[in-house]
Structure formats: structure tokens, C-alpha cells
Amino acid sequence: MSSNVAAFNINHYQFLDPAGNLVGNNQPAIAREFDKLVDYYKLMTLTRTFDKKAIALQRTGKLGTYASCLGHEAAQVAIGATMREEDCFAPMYREYGAQLYRGVKMSEILAYWGGDERGNDFSGPQHDFAWCVPIATQCLHAAGAAMAYKLRNEKRVAVSVVGDGGSSKGDFLEAINAASAWKLPLVLIIMNNQWAISVPRSKQNTAQTLAQKGIAGGLPSIQVDGNDIVACHWAMEKALDRARNGLGASVIEMITYRLSDHTTADDARRYRDNEEVDQAWAREPLLRLRSWLESSGVWDDEQQQALEADCVEQVNAAVEEYLALGYPGNESMFDYMFAELPHDLQAQREQALKELPAQPEGHH
């Protein structure tokens, strides 16, 4: 005899289609809250302007390797916009849109990729985690943060983002498992941009969705169009509310596309077809929101031009600030190692200050 002991399905949500039309029924209210949508659009545009500039800085030798966020703007801004200040963000390395919303400065993002630890000491909520390069490890830090809030009875939520590649790591699956075991106030977002450097989504595994990994661990899990800010916003609000009200964690798979190279050190032409990239451009997030705002009569060309000019100005100011940052000072190699510098490092610090040039050769 056999009986069905478990059943599940994964729903995909889209409210704003690539052409900028509202689709489906039960559209969330945010789809018509135009003040907010215009703000989001502005930040998405700023994020993209910043991204373009950062790549240009790298190409001209003024920035180190940089991970572009091109194509991820809707998802990122939706994350930033729905989280509360007291919530905790544990990003991977390209969620600038979310971080800008939370108050991180563009100059700080540049400092980090410019090889300066001061970039990690960023503005915005001081409890947020810094960028996280070791893939998926941030998921467990977010789960730990959620555990801390739960144990202290605080109505706060931890939010983490992981890639389609990162979803193959134990850290991510262990975070799901822990969040399920302890009903943690956690939101795990899989930013499925179809590529993990040169490895396509299809080579990570043959599961129909990545969201279903959350189901396997016992968490409600959905998939949304990650280029649709309405869908991302709606999904985030739902998951955050649930977590904040003690009902536990959830997983949201946001389907988007990495329109750029993996980083400036990568050349995606080695492994993916231009055709695929061209098709992805037709689904990109900014244009559809702009179309929706225009057809709703709340946005026009004049505003667009003014916005673009303003974004360039803001980004240029940030670049100036970044370039004026200067050298951190050799002592900074030592001074943040411990609350109080132990004697062995004290001695090494003294020696370093004696034996090292004040700045490395070629620094300006």
C-alpha cells in the first residue's frame, strides 16, 4: 500500500510584464502607489548609472575587480525598499541597489572594490553585514542573526541573498534547515541570474526550480520574476511580515539575468551566446517600469532626462569622494585585529612602521 505523504507546488509570480503592462489579477497595491514606484525607479536608475561608472573606473585602472549588478536592479531595490532599518541585511557582493536604499554610499562601494577595508565600514544600518565573497556563507550568518532576534524577542528580520550557483552549497541548505527547525525570522532570496561565472543554471542541478530547495527544508517558497519590481516587492513584504510575526522563514527565488560579465575580470563571450543576452535585454527591469510609469501618466521624457543628469551628477560626486580617500596608513593593517592589540602584534606593528615605506610604491 502506498499513500501520498507530501505534495507541493511552486508558483511563479509576475505582475508587470516586460512590456510594462500590469498582468494577472490580485495585483498588489504597490503596483499603483506611484510616489513609491517613482522613487524606486529613480534608485534603479541611479544603481545602473553607478554600475556603468564603476566598470569604467576599473577599465581605466582606478578600481580593482568589480562585480556588476546590471540587470538585478528591480530585485535589489525591492529588497532594500521593503526591509526596515532594524532588519539585518547579509548580502553577497553585488546587491548595491538594496544597499543604496539602506544608506550605504556609492563612494563606500567603490572603496571596497578599490582595495580599501574602509569600504566595509559603510554607512546605513550598522548591524548589516559586510559584503561576502565566500559564496553562500552569508546565509548562515543571516540565520544566526535571525536566531539572535528570536532569542531576544525582537521583531526584526534577517535577509540574505545567494546566487543560483550559491544555492548548491551546504551553507545555503543548512540555513534553510535551521530556519525551519527553529522557525527563524529569516528571508532567503535566491538571486537566480542564470549563471555562476561560466556555469549555467542548468548545470547546477536538474531541479525544475531552485525555490523547491526551500520546500525540501520545510519553508514556504515561491518564485517571482526578479525583473518585476512589483512582484519582488510583493513577495518581500509577504515574507518579511510572516517572519516578523513569528511565523518563520521563507525562500524567494527571483528570476533575473546577469547582463554583464561575472566581474570585470571575466569575459562572458568565452562561454555564452550573445543571442541569449540579447533576449535577456528584452526582459530587463528598468524599461518595463518606465513604460508602466509613462503609460500611467506619472513619468515623461523631461523627467527622464532630468533624472539621468541627476544620477550622473551624484555618481560623479561619489567618484570624487572615492578618489580623494587616500591611503589608509600602514598601522591600519594592525589596529582592527583585536579590541586591544596583543603584545605580539604590538611588536610587529612597531617593526612594520619602522621598516615599511609610508605608502606602497606607486600609490597616489
Residues in contact with other proteins by the rule CB under 8 A? 64-65, 93, 112-117, 131, 133-136, 163, 165-166, 168-170, 196-199, 203-205, 263, 265-266, 270-271, 327-328, 330, 332-334, 337, 344-345, 348, 352, 355-357, 360-361, 363
Out of other proteins, Mg ion, ligand TPP, none, what residue 337 binds, judged by CB under 5 to 8 A for its kind, is other proteins
Q: Which does 131 bind (CB under 5 to 8 A by kind): ligand TPP, other proteins, Mg ion, none?
A: other proteins
- Does position 185 interact with Mg ion (CB under 5 A)? The reply is no
Active site residue 290: no
Binding mask 176-205 vs ligand TPP (x if CB under 6 A, - otherwise)? ---------------x-x-xxx--------
The reply to whether 133 sits near ligand TPP by the rule CB under 6 A is yes
Nearest distance from residue 73's CB to Mg ion, in Å? 15
Active-site residue, 271 included: yes
By CB under 6 A, tell whether 164 contacts ligand TPP: yes
Q: Which of the listed partners (other proteins, ligand TPP, Mg ion, none) does 24 bind, with a CB threshold of 5 to 8 Å by partner kind?
A: none
Residue at grid coordinates 541573498: 161
Residue 284, interface with Mg ion (CB under 5 A)?
Answer: no
Under the binding rule (CB under 6 A), the answer on residue 284 touching ligand TPP is: no
Q: Does 130 bind ligand TPP (CB under 6 A)?
A: no
Under the binding rule (CB under 5 A), the answer on residue 160 touching Mg ion is: no
262 catalytic per annotation: yes
| Residue 244 partner contact from ligand TPP, other proteins, Mg ion, none using kind-dependent CB cut-offs of 5 to 8 Å | none
Number of residues forming the site for Mg ion (CB under 5 A)? 4
Report the catalytic residues: 258, 262, 271
